[in-house]
């Protein structure tokens, strides 16, 4: 008797293959030649943003009814993967746009969606996500940022940190406490615009990697916004934040996957050309075993990420732990693979003459943001033990 599998499946369509080919071509032509300079100068790549926007790859997840292309979760993961394969900093353009707008897509009013999503779809605006604070990182529910209702507007006060693409984005989804007596159920979500009175951006953090994506604090000092810019009902913000992460953690997995694949591609090319003891180093079994492990681990991560993306698209139960698993596994793989790539390159891998040292530095953040991998393991276990 045939047994029905309990594993979720996905199928890559011809359209997914076309998207991959198109993104890879753009990435090789417009982004790869700039990757080292973006890292060296730590400047946001506006030229890359323009190229991605012209091709429609800057925010593929925006639904068609709001001017987007309406790509599914798997297609968006492929876009992020292929951009990250050559430049992790640039891959945060589509990734952060999705992170910032998902709360609006999931919980925002129709009025708010029509107000902000078309601007992102057209490339006129970018969106960031503001949840963390200095003393409320993994313990996000301990946030101190406050929002008070005052007649026909909300007034926000507080500081958010580790905000990706801060200063470049025009819109920010900000989580703030509206009822301190209710704990996490007293947190609400708001859309703040860079021109709102009382909003400002702090200095750029000096980081190990993803240097072309600015990371800054944002300050809300009696920041006044219209009443209709609350996302969902008061008190639903933390639930929206967690649901958002269910959809976006897997995209960080896709970013990690792309970084790992880029390191593998560079290693294969180097192993074929680098000569030692009179032959290519790819002829040595020890390095062959390293390469085989790198490829096996990366392909396993790819399967988990794509399955999680399919689950997200079908809105199936279990997405919370599936997405956390995809992110944690893929980011751990990316760190191992890029470290091994540096080892394969030897002394050359430790220099800026080759991309693998940058990939190793970029890979590290994927184990940290959108939930450290320790937090993600807790999420997985708690979901399974409920």
Contact 69, 60 (CB under 8 A): yes
C-alpha 7/C-alpha 312 separation (Å) is: 14
Contact 118, 69 (CB under 8 A): no
Give the separation between CA 361 and CA 342, rounded to whole angstroms: 11
Distance CA 301, CA 371 (A): 18
Between CA 184 and CA 146, with CA 383 as vertex, the angle to 5 degrees is 15
Q: What is the dihedral of CA 301, 165, 215, 32, to 10 degrees?
A: 60
DSSP assignment of 345-371 equals: HGGGGGSTTSTHHHHHHHHHHTTTSSS
Catalytic residue among 81, 119, 133, 370: 370
Is 119 labeled as catalytic in the residue annotation? no
Measured at the CA of 19, the angle between CA 13 and CA 24, to 5 degrees, comes to 130
Q: What number of helices (H) and strands (E) belong to the chain?
A: 11, 10
- Do residues 324 and 382 touch, judged by C-beta distance below 8 A? no
Question: Whose structure tokens read 């694949």?
Answer: 261
CA-based torsion, 363, 82, 130, 44: positive or negative: positive
Q: Let me know the angle formed at the C-alpha of 156 by 155 and 158, rounded to the nearest 5 degrees.
A: 155
Q: Is 286 exposed, middle or buried (0-12, 13-18, 19+ CB in 10 A)?
A: exposed
Residues marked active site are found at 370
């Amino acid at each position: 008797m045939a047994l029905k599998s309990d594993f979720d499946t996905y199928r890559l369509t011809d359209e997914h293959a076309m998207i991959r080919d198109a993104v890879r071509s753009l990435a090789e032509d417009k982004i790869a030649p700039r990757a080292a300079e973006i890292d060296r100068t730590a400047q946001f790549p506006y030229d890359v943003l323009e190229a991605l926007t012209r091709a429609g790859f800057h925010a593929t997840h925006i639904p068609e009814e709001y001017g987007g292309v309406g790509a599914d979760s798997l297609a968006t993961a492929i876009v992020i993967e292929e951009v990250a394969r050559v430049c992790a900093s640039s891959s945060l353009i589509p990734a952060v746009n999705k992170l910032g707008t998902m709360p609006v897509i999931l919980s925002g009013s129709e009025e708010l969606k029509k107000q902000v999503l078309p601007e992102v779809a057209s490339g006129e605006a970018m969106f960031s996500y503001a949840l963390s604070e200095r003393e409320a990182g993994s313990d996000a529910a301990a946030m101190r940022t406050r929002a008070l209702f005052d007649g026909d507007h909300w007034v926000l006060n507080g500081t958010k940190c580790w905000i990706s693409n801060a200063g470049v984005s025009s819109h920010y989804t900000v989580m703030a406490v509206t009822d301190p007596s209710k704990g996490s159920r007293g947190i609400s979500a708001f859309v703040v615009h860079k021109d709102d009175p009382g909003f400002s951006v702090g200095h750029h953090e000096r980081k190990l990697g993803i240097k072309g994506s600015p990371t800054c604090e944002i300050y809300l000092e009696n920041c006044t916004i219209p009443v209709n810019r609350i996302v969902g009902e008061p008190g639903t913000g933390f639930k929206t934040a967690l649901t958002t992460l269910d959809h976006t953690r897997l995209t960080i997995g896709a970013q990690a996957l792309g970084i790992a694949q880029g390191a593998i591609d560079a290693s294969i090319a180097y192993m074929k050309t680098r000569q030692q003891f009179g032959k290519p180093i790819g002829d040595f079994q020890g390095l062959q075993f390293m390469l085989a492990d790198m490829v096996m681990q990366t392909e396993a991560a790819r399967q988990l990420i794509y399955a999680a993306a399919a689950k997200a698209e079908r809105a199936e139960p279990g997405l919370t732990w599936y997405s956390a698993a995809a992110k944690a596994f893929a980011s751990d793989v990316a760190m191992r693979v890029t470290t091994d790539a540096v080892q394969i390159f030897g002394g050359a891998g430790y220099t800026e003459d080759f991309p693998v040292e940058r990939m190793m530095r970029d890979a590290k953040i994927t184990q940290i943001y959108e939930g450290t991998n320790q937090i993600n393991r807790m999420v997985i276990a708690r979901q399974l033990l409920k």
